[in-house]
């Protein structure tokens, strides 16, 4: 990878969304920084315009790095995503243009696993539904089945996608709630990792059929688009819950809304949505779904760690020709 030329001249970088002032200050020690202090969401054309003359950009999941954008920004050397997922990047196009892509794995694993389990519990125990009931002034007496949900402890936890976050959720279920943990993944984990997670590998069909609580923690890819749709929902228990903390588009949201309305499954908890920040209108009209606005990694400590790791990748790439968490490391050796 070519290094910035010009002794004493700071490379120019773009920070595409508002981040923490102390992280911006770190970046300004190394770069000429253009920062989006107003936190506007730029169009593709505006992003391309602002990337003119920039060697690097710190992105979030909001910004799409496409082949067209890369062709229009020939000086770009690195796109540093402040997220573990990178389905907003056309990685083959980045590689073809000699642009390093990086992400922020590991630093958000436990925080996201915590939230996934919190969303599971809120969904199983009907917390959002009952809070709306209380706020509406409808609680005037006790009844034996009022907002009776499904058990968490001792139930079967199913996990689709068994990377770092999936393993974190498995450990919480197996060790904290005495759950039977089953999982399906593109490749089976080694025996030691399975034992540490208390998890048993099963087929996707068995996962759907057996899980009391099914948590989705797999990356979005073209092959994973609507991997949970009407046929898969029909294979689940009518008492089951579905939790998505992965990416929008993995679930067919329209089919899920129908399954929730008809009682095909008991409830769902969703932190991500197809076409977010828009949410499928049918999901807004069914009571048995907990909806959160993509906040699974949202603690101040974790968001700071994510921003700092993205900044570290920018600094390493543009000052040393290296990176901490490259997605396409072959660019570094080109």
Structure tokens at 183: 């999982």
Q: At what angle do helices 164-171 and 109-124 cross, to 10 degrees?
A: 50
Q: Active site includes 135?
A: no
Q: Would you tell me how many other CB atoms lie within 10 Å of the CB of residue 9?
A: 9
Out of 18, 225, 294, 304, which one is annotated catalytic? 294
Out of 97, 247, 280, 303, which one is annotated catalytic? 247
Within 13 Å of residue 205, how many CA atoms lie on the same side as its CB?
A: 0
Which positions ≥6 away from 223 have C-beta within 8 Å? none
54 three-state secondary structure: coil
Among 331, 317, 313, 309, smallest CA distance to 107 is for: 309
Among 119, 126, 149, 154, smallest CA distance to 246 is for: 119
For residue 130, with 0-12 CB atoms within 10 Å meaning exposed, 13-18 middle and 19 or more buried, which class applies? middle
Q: Active site includes 294?
A: yes
Q: At what angle do helices 127-135 and 109-124 cross, to 10 degrees?
A: 60
Structure tokens at 128: 């959002």
Q: Active site includes 188?
A: no
Out of 34, 180, 276, 304, which one is annotated catalytic? 276
Structure tokens at 251: 């679930």
Q: Which residues are known to be catalytic?
A: 247, 276, 294
């Amino acid at each position: 990878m070519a290094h910035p030329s010009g002794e004493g001249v700071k490379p120019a970088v773009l920070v595409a969304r508002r981040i923490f002032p102390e992280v911006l200050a770190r970046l300004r020690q190394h770069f000429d920084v253009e920062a989006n202090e107003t936190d506007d969401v730029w169009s593709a054309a505006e992003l391309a315009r602002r990337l003119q003359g920039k060697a690097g950009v710190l992105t979030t999941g909001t910004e799409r790095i496409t082949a067209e954008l890369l062709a229009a920004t020939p000086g770009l050397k690195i796109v540093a995503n402040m997220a573990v997922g990178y389905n907003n990047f056309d990685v083959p196009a980045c590689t073809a243009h000699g642009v390093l892509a990086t992400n922020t794995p590991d630093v958000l694993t436990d925080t996201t696993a915590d939230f996934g389990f919190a969303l599971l519990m809120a969904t199983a125990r009907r917390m959002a539904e009952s809070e709306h009931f209380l706020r509406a002034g409808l609680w005037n007496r006790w009844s034996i089945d009022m907002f009776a949900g499904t058990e968490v402890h001792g139930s079967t936890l199913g996990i689709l996608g068994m990377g770092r976050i999936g393993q974190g959720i498995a450990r919480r279920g197996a060790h904290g709630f005495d759950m039977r943990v089953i999982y399906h993944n593109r490749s089976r984990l080694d025996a030691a990792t399975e034992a540490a997670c208390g998890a048993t590998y099963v087929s996707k069909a068995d996962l759907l059929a057996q899980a009391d609580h099914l948590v989705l923690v797999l990356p979005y890819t073209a092959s994973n688009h609507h991997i949970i749709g009407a046929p898969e929902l029909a294979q689940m228990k009518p008492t089951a819950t579905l939790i998505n903390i992965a990416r929008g588009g993995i679930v067919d949201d329209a089919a899920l809304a129908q399954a929730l309305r008809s009682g095909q499954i008991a409830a769902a908890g969703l932190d991500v949505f197809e076409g977010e920040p828009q949410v499928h209108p049918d999901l807004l009209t069914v009571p048995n779904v907990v909806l959160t606005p993509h906040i699974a990694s949202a603690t101040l400590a974790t968001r700071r760690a994510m921003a700092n790791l993205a900044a570290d990748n920018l600094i390493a790439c543009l000052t040393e020709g290296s990176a901490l968490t490259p997605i396409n490391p072959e660019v570094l050796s080109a």
